[in-house]
Each structure stands twice: as C-alpha cells, then as structure tokens.
Structure 1
Amino acid sequence: MILRIVYPYTDENEKYFIDTDKKYIDLIVSKYVPNDYNIIEVKPILDGFHQIICLKDNQYDITNYYDSYKITVDFKTHTVLGFNQCHEYIVNGLPKIDRNEAMEIAINYCENNNIKFNYSGIPLIELEVRKENDYFENNSLEGLNDIDLEIYANRQLERPLHCSYVVTFDDFSVLVDAYTGEIIGGDEFAASKDGASYYGTHKGKNTKYFTSSASNINSILNSLGYNSYTDSADNDNGVSLRRFVRGDGNNYAFAFSGHASPISLGNGLEYGYVRYLGLNDVTCCWKFVFLNGCNTAEDTRWRDAFGISGSSNGKIFLGWYKGIKLGTMLDFTGNLKHQVRRNPSKTFYSNVLRAIEKPGTYYYIRFWGDKNISGRV
C-alpha cells in the first residue's frame, strides 16, 4: 500500500499516535475497504481525530478523489467514528486522446480566444477527474444578491465530472476532457491572480452566509487593489484552494468563509468531513489573510502558518477567537466592505473598528499585524 502520513503538529503526543498505529490503520482498511483501493493519506481533522483516505487503483494512472473511501478514526481509543464512500465517477477505459494532443488542444484554444499564456519548457500535464467549471465564461459575482449567489454556487456544485487532462502553463491551467477533447474549464493562480476568497459548504450544501461573505471579502480585496477572485472550495474538495495557498511567491491575499477550527478549514460535516486546508498546507508569502470561520484566531497557529505576527509590518491577519453564528459572519463582512469602500484613504484597522460599531452586535474578531496600513498591504 502507498501511505502518506501528514503531520500538521509539533505535538509529540499527536505524532506518537500516528507513528504507532500503522497496524491499526491496515486492520481498519482491510476490514472496511475493498482490496483494489490504496491508502493515499492519513491526515488529522477536528478534535484530534484522523481521516484515512483510500483511492481506487486504475491502470491509467488517473487521480480520482471521486471514487474513494474515507474513514474517520480516533487513534487514542481505536474507535471508528465515521465511514464515507464516494463513487460519483468511475474510471472506465483508456482516454481517447493522449497528453500531446491535450496540450495542442489547450494551446489552440488559448490562441483562438486571444488568451495570453506563457510556459517555461514543456507544460505540466496531469490526468485527473475534475469538475467542469466556468473559468473561461467570465462570470462576475459582483452585484448578485444573496439568493442569486446561492443559485450560482449550487449550479457550480451540480456541474458534471470529467476525466480530464490538466494542462498547466506558467500562470493558469486548462482542463481538457480526456475522451472528447472538449475544454471543460480552467484554474488560475499565482502570477495572474494575487488574491482569492474561497467559501465552503454548510451541512453539505451552499448557503448565502458563506457565498455572500466570500463575495463581500473579494470586494474588499478588489478595493484594496488585489486582482482577486471568488470560488467554491467544495467543487474539487479543496484541490484548487490548496494549490493557491501553496503558491509560487506571487500570491499575497487569501480568505476563506466557512466552517473552521484552530487547525483546519473544512466542509463542516462531522463524520463525512472534508478538510480543505490544514496548517502544514500553507506556504508562500502572505500579506493579507482573513479566515472567516470559528476559532481561527483562538490561538496563533493559523497566524503563524501564514507568517504573520502581532507586530508584523505591512501584513494583516483577521480571524475569530470564538465560535460565531453564520449571520454574524455575513453581517461583519458586509459592514467591513461598506467601510472600506466608503473610507479608502483610512487605515484598514480603523475600518475594522467602524465595522464592529453596529449597535447591539459584538464581534469576536481578532486583528493581528500592521494597524497603520491604508490601501493595499
């Protein structure tokens, strides 16, 4: 079996339970998972629990997280807490086009649509099951009300899955259907976008509290001068989000609206939990971070992961130091968007203070970083 164990903590007790329970992992997998699925990851989630992720073998070397088993366990008590299987897409047969043809299709599409692209050497080409998206459709979320935002987000979740070649140029990727050669979407990161505002799901569904909060924060980033975008973390189980957060040195602003804890950002389901991001997933250089979820500023772990301290010059971290209601998240981001637009020459910190002055509401928001910055950080 292929086993990749992820250590997000320096806590030796936590590491002990991982190191000494490989036999238990193998026992659980042999009991619950068919033999043609391999262990890919064992990673921590909430409350000290861990999740074992198994993907099905296929002879075509296609990465497919949409045909998987996930088992949630407590290593301390050797208890299985949850079991989830996903068989949304089954790989059947060899792709009809090869990697070179996929690269040619992607290049021709960009040239025919006047899309600028650059690549150093040969573009990276990976074969993955990915969800169709609207990357090349130029849809804007600006001006959409809460209901329309929720409708938009639900449509993205309902888009079909494809076995696709991910053709990656220097600053974005093109998704090419491996059977038909159709362009089914793309991804953008690093050099062309320096900010992103992602949102998660609530009990497995989109909610205006997360989609609209993410849209509000994206407007804030735009007002500050970032070339940012809004996207769902749930569309591809956090793959694009993690890719952005790993970055290449050109990403500066990141935000997430959804369920969270001091160690992970996820979809909020207790036992069917999907962890979009953990502490060890964060790399690159960050100037502005807003983790709009419960307990993200309960301690300094998220702040430290993004390289921001209480005395950082030219950097800002915003988070919540307690559990918060969904309406409060949306209310605060709306107030802050209004203040940033209304007072662009004022410091960001002063706009945060204005945003929390709404009578009758107390925000458990925590600000770390430079209190003297106005405009882009």
Structure 2
Amino acid sequence: MTKKIKRIPKLFLTLILSLFIVSTSHNLVFAQKQESLKDIKNPTDNVTLSESEKVLKIYNNYELNDIYEKSKVLLESLNLSKNKLDKIELMKDINKNKEFYRVTSDTSIIDFDTNYELLNITNFSNTNFSGKDIKSTNYTNKEVIRNSISLYKDKLINSKSDLINITSKITRALNIPTDYELIFNEPYDDDFWQLVWQKKLSNNLFNPYESVKVIINRENGSIESLYKFNEKPNVINESIFEEEAIKLSKEILDRGNSKSEIKTKLTIFKPNYFWTNGKYTESNDVRLSWLIKSSDIDIYIDAVTGEILGGGYIQSNEEGAAFGAVNIQFAKYQCDLATNGMRRLGYNTRDPIVNCSGNAIGNFLAGSSSYALYIACHGSPTQLSDRGNWYLNRSDIHGNWHFVFLDACLTGVDNGWASSFKIEGYSGRGFLGWANEIESYYSYLFSDNFWPKVGSMPLRKAAIEAANAVPGAGTTPIRYYGDSAYYGWAW
C-alpha cells in the first residue's frame, strides 16, 4: 500500500549538511550551502569552461584564417559581434572524446568541427552575469525574477509574423538548403522563441539529425543559441513493415504497465541500444526505424534489419492514480552528473543511498540544512512518485530551497512546484522542470549537456543551451523559474 509522506516542519539552522539519494526507481540529490564565490564580470570574458571541456591549443588568428574569416562573416550576418574576435582554440570534449575548434568574440562563442563545419553559436550579450555572488547584489524581483505572467506588449517577438525577417536572415547566413523546411516555429516560453529546420527526405520523412535549431530572444529578436546537426540516415526505404515491427517489439512492450493503444510511425533515430544493453550506448550512425509507442514505453526497430535500436521509458504518471513499480533507467548516471555539478557549485554532497523508503525521503526533505535537490522520478503538475512505494504532493514541500531540478514529466508546466519550494519570486534561487512528458533517453541527453555547463553560466542559460543541443523538435521542453541571473551557487 502506497504510503503518503508525513509532513515535517522545516527549521532554520546554520548547520552545513548534504544528502544525495538514489533508488532503483527514483533519485534525489540534496545539498546544502557551503560558501559564496567571487562575482564575475561580463559576457565571454567570464564564461568558464564546462567540466567536460579541455583547451588543447591556442592559435593566432592568422594560423587559422579560414575559420577566422568564416566566423567573422557569420557573426556580422547574424548581428552578433560588436567588436573583434578575441581568440581561436582547439578544444576537446572529454565525455565524447572529440576535438573541435572554438572561436570567441566579445559577446559570442562559435564551435566548429575539425572539418571547419559549424556546430553551434552561443550568444551571451543578453545573459545577466551579475548573480554569481548574490550576497553582493540587491536586485528587486522585477529586475531579475522571471515572472510566469508574460508582458507581451514589451516584447519584439509576439507572433510568427514578427520572425519573417529573422528567419530569412538565418537562412541566408547559414546557407540553409532548400530541402530543409521550417517545421517548428513556436514560443519556447515567455522569454524565448524556438525555430527548427529539418531536412525533408525523398520518402517525405524529416531527419532531426540534419537540422538547425535556434532559440530567439523575444525581447530584442537576437539569436540566443544556435545548433546545427549534419548526420545522414543509412537508408531511406524500409524493408520491415509496421505489422512486423510491432511483433518484434512485443516482448519489450509487455514489460510496461500500460495496456493503452500502441502507436507507430516511421522515423529517423540514432540508436541508444537501451533495451539490448541495459544502458544507453551512444552510436555514430543514424537509422531509418519504426517507433513503437505505448503510454509508458518507446521502442525503435530498424526498418531494414529488424534490429532493436533502443528507446526508453516515459517519466510520467496520472495524477492521483495507483502505479506499479517502473524504474527510471540510468538515473544513477544522471545523479552522478548532478552530484559533481552541485559540488562544483559549492555544496557538500554524500554518495548515493540505495533503496530509501518514503519516510526517509520525507525526513530528508524536511532537513533543516537541505537547500539543493535533484530528483529523477515519475511526475505530474501536483505529484511525484516512484509508482509503488511513495508519493509526494506539492503540499508536502516546506522550507526555503535554493536550487531544485525535478527531472519528471510536467513538473515545469506551470510555476506550482517552483512556488512550493519557495523559489518563484525570490532572488538567488532557481527551479528546473519539464513542461511536457519527457522520455528517459532525452532526459539523459539533456543531463549530459546540462550538468557539465553548471557553474560556467547562469542556470537558465545552461538549461537553454543544453535543451537546444539535443536533436529534434520538442524533445527537451525544459522550463526555468526563478532568478535569471542565478548560477546555482551555494550561499
């Protein structure tokens, strides 16, 4: 029988303590304040390396003239550069074991692959860097807090018609081919708008791995983040058809709880071999595949060979219902990333505690020195659950939290959870949640991009960049509530 977590009042003490919990079906990271760090200055001068990046070599501009000139033209055509380019570096992504070039200007950073092809552009001219040491600032809520009520009259971008000139400018600057179509042109949240171009293949499918994703700042129309993907599928004509693909996926479908209608579609997918290896294994190839989808499981079947390519669980539940135990896969890995990220922000953390009970979770949530939390579980706008042993309602949350990431479906659909943690409406606090259902694989990819960036830029900027770095439209609907300048530092 599911046991409701007992409410325990949270006291205000000065003890420094941390907690990091992992269970087979949910994970929590608790951490407490340690110390404030020094204030930082302005755009790219004070953007630090992410944890996964390493500088291999610094070049003079004349040594890599092709990249220098290409960067200069890009920044000028996109209105992103105010002054000269500062430096060119050969970098290494340690996690992916890949080298790339980085060009830094006064306001923007551009990354190229080793063939000089554009990877991404990050604009920091709109980023508020003043929140690194919140003790030295005294902002009002109006100045730094993202309000959930949009003041559209103050924004330059309010509708698709406002973006006609911007989309034309991006198309020209990047020389986007004519077989790419603008498939997504919608508000991302109150402050950002998202554009997604994808290549339309001869079989009329769109390939998310040959695409351009852009986040536009709605206040001034400038590009906030731009990512370019360029990976072709192996084939475009299927040999395995829908009925056979469903049969091949039956054994995996039976592992889920849902008896809902099965949905299918032909799509393009990069294998993660989740169902085969029991973990996400990154692949370098892109495949034509069948997506077999129930309400709680995604399965991808190679449309030529019938091979099971991967997929994942959906991290959601129905509000107020009773659930069978379904594990959140590889949350241990994501919590390891979260632990490292929080330690980098000045929090003290412990190693994982396995198989904790609902009472233990409640006690830790009510801990007098708990200030930071990461949890990967099943969710809704009003409830978190492991689908079997415990559930947590918004009304069970007490205390004053500084940094909370609820890695569960629909926890960011509105500001309800952020308000329960007393984050919305306060400076020096930040909350992340998902505005829609989130598949565990895309949550995993987001974490892989987000946590290494933590500490190098404000949380909100890191979240936007991490979400935009994941292929596909609408795959990572992250939402941020709180102080837009806050880095997440312990204080």
TM-score for both structures, normalised by structure 2: 0.39
Q: Which has the higher helix share?
A: 1
